[in-house]
Amino acid sequence: MGKYDDGDVLILAIETSCDETAASVVRNGRKVLSNVIYTQIALHTRYGGVVPEIASRKHIEKINQVIEEALDQADVSLSDVTAVAVTCGPGLVGALLVGVAEAKAISFAAGLPLVGVHHISGHISANYIEYPELEPPFVCLVASGGHSHLVVVKDYGVYEIIGRTRDDAAGEAFDKVARAIGLGYPGGPKIDSISKEGNPDAVPFPRAKVGESEYDFSFSGLKSAVLNYLNSCQMKGEDYSQADVAASFQKAVVDVLVEHSLHAVKEFGYDRFAIAGGVASNSALREAFERECRKRKIAFYCPSPLLCTDNAAMIGAAGYYQYIRGACSSYDLNAEPNMKL
Ligand code: KG4
Ligand code: ZN
């Protein structure tokens, strides 16, 4: 008998949609046997953001090593693996293509099924890893560098988008404001940590309402308000406090995300709420949701910060549920930079 039960499904998952080269082995969608992430952040920092061409080249350089490490750490070989899952969109096209080509090659060479996974489906599925008892349906806020979606998770891999951003994603706003106040890239984690020393009520930034749609978000007005505030300080020759601006901006984002999300949970009649995506690792956001969900008797789920930012384990979890319902891909699987959920 092998190391794993015949009934066990082992997914080798690959994620290269942006600036992390990641591979993971996940058992039965919930148990992470390895989760290897090579982050390119240091390479892109000097440019103030991700440079797509550099990202793709680095993925090519690192991908084999990262996959080998994932198999080694899980103590399995390709013959133990059931299927290969890979992020096929959305993301940077050149970066996605590296993962997709690699997954196809492994799938073909080892005779394993190929499963193309939507990156956001992956982010949402990080919750299944953190909470082995969690099952759909529930409401999930996905807030990342490219997306801010409020989603009803009706079943595994079955999503209804009930709200989205009309302009910038939440993470994008964090990154732009961080750059404006001189914190640099990556903005989210830097604003998160400096905010701990600032006063969140120092500057009354606006909480945006979006017309008739109560579940949509807009962050570009807030970003402009921050830029205007910085400009007016400069014109008056006044200094501003980085920590106060960061904390006040962060509070404005958190207030809007919490209010819209929990309003949706109530209106749609659910009692379970999860968060996902890079911004979900924000400490103030997690605390606010924890507090407000407790008050409103909503069960709150938030993956550990490492599972919120980009990783391949989440792709392994989403890939597992696709695999068991037969949603596998053929070899014409392509990278889809603007793939819809
Ligand atoms: O999900 P993710 O790793 O990649 C995308 O799919 O986009 O999200 C990256 C985004 C970036 O905008 C980053 O600034 C933001 O998540 N982020 C954070 C924090 N950590 C990462 N935003 C706020 N607070 C954080 N601690
Ligand atoms: Zn992501």
Q: What is the pLDDT of residues 121-145, one digit of tens each?
A: 999 999 999 999 999 999 999 999 9
Half-sphere exposure of 215 (CA within 13 A, CB side): 21
The residue among 36, 29, 83 whose CA lies nearest residue 312 is 36
The residue among 6, 339, 327 whose CA lies nearest residue 156 is 327
The answer to whether 136 and 153 are in contact (CB under 8 A) is yes
Question: Which residue ranges have their beta carbon within 6 Å of ligand 1?
Answer: 18, 144-146, 171, 174-175, 186-189, 192, 277-279, 281-282, 309-310
**What torsion, rounded to 10 degrees, do the Cα atoms 128, 311, 121, 174 define?**
110
Q: Which atom of ligand 1 is nearest to the CA of 308?
A: 1
For residue 200, the Cα-to-chain-centroid distance in whole angstroms is 25
Q: d(Cα 240, Cα 235) in Å, to the nearest integer?
A: 12
Average pLDDT score over residue span 205-220: 85
Residue nearest to atom 16 of ligand 1 (CA): 278
Q: What is the pLDDT of residue 3?
A: 67
In angstroms, what is the span from residue 240 Cα to ligand 1's centroid? 25
The answer to whether 189 and 195 are in contact (CB under 8 A) is no
Confidence of residue 2 (pLDDT cuts 50, 70, 90): low
Q: d(Cα 253, Cα 285) in Å, to the nearest integer?
A: 9
- Strands 10-15 and 138-143 come out as unpaired
Q: d(Cα 335, Cα 322) in Å, to the nearest integer?
A: 18
Please give the helix or strand (H or E) that residue 144 lies within, else none: none
Q: d(Cα 227, Cα 287) in Å, to the nearest integer?
A: 27
In angstroms, what is the span from residue 247 Cα to ligand 2's centroid? 24
Average pLDDT score over residue span 203-226: 89
Per-residue pLDDT reduced to its tens digit, 61-116: 999 999 999 999 999 999 999 999 999 999 999 999 999 999 999 999 999 999 99
pLDDT reading at 1 higher than 50: no
Q: Which atom of ligand 1 is nearest to the CA of 119?
A: 6
Average pLDDT score over residue span 217-224: 94
Q: How many CB atoms lie within 10 A of CB 277?
A: 30
Q: d(Cα 16, Cα 92) in Å, to the nearest integer?
A: 9
In angstroms, what is the span from residue 175 Cα to ligand 1's centroid? 8
Residue nearest to atom 22 of ligand 1 (CA): 188
* Per-chain mean pLDDT for the chain: 96
Q: d(Cα 116, Cα 132) in Å, to the nearest integer?
A: 23
Sheet holding 31-39, edge to edge: 31-39, 20-27, 10-15, 83-89, 114-118
Q: What is the pLDDT of residue 16?
A: 98
Burial group, residue 184, by CB count within 10 angstroms (0-12, 13-18, 19+): middle
* Identity of the amino acid at 178: A
Residue nearest to atom 2 of ligand 1 (CA): 278
In angstroms, what is the span from residue 146 Cα to ligand 1's centroid? 9
Please give the helix or strand (H or E) that residue 167 lies within, else none: none
**What torsion, rounded to 10 degrees, do the Cα atoms 16, 193, 34, 330 define?**
-20
The answer to whether 315 and 24 are in contact (CB under 8 A) is yes
Residue nearest to atom 19 of ligand 1 (CA): 188
In angstroms, what is the span from residue 19 Cα to ligand 2's centroid? 10
Q: d(Cα 98, Cα 63) in Å, to the nearest integer?
A: 8
